[in-house]
Structure 1
Amino acid sequence: MFKKMDIYRILTLIFAVVVMIFSSLSLVYPDTYKHSYKIAQFFLSLVLLCSGITEFKANRKSMAIASFIVSLLTFFVFVFTLVVRTG
């Protein structure tokens, strides 16, 4: 199964699992894991970045550009939530 997959697809799967774990922790235990959504958001931007690279290598440039833009937007929101304190 993994012979046909390149490194970016494997990384996408790993990052997606990390996103699901941190998002689930944030939903199930909101008081204990208050800031796990920030970590999930960072890994979500990495998922979209790896997905964009995979799409670009498959010559689907419009989907690759969309993935890159959404990845940048998600990373910008991640950095913005780190800088701004939510009271």
Structure 2
Amino acid sequence: MSILYLSLIAIVSAVVWHRSQRRFLLASALSAISATLLFELLTYVEAGSLDSFFMIASAFAFGLSFLISVAIGLLMRRLRE
């Protein structure tokens, strides 16, 4: 279920960043960073403490968020043209 939440956060973050930032890689990186931070913050609030594997979860969340952001960015670039 948490992968679904991460994916939804990453999609919203990607749309927001790719609309506000014209540089593709910068928008993708900022989107992945902000989605990862928001996801980790929400898991911390829900659990009440940091997970013992939060570094591994953060790396996974960043990778997935970056891939989603690149896909959304390519789609938005194609729709602009």
TM-score, normalised with respect to structure 2: 0.42
TM-score, normalised with respect to structure 1: 0.39
**Structure of larger gyration radius:** 1
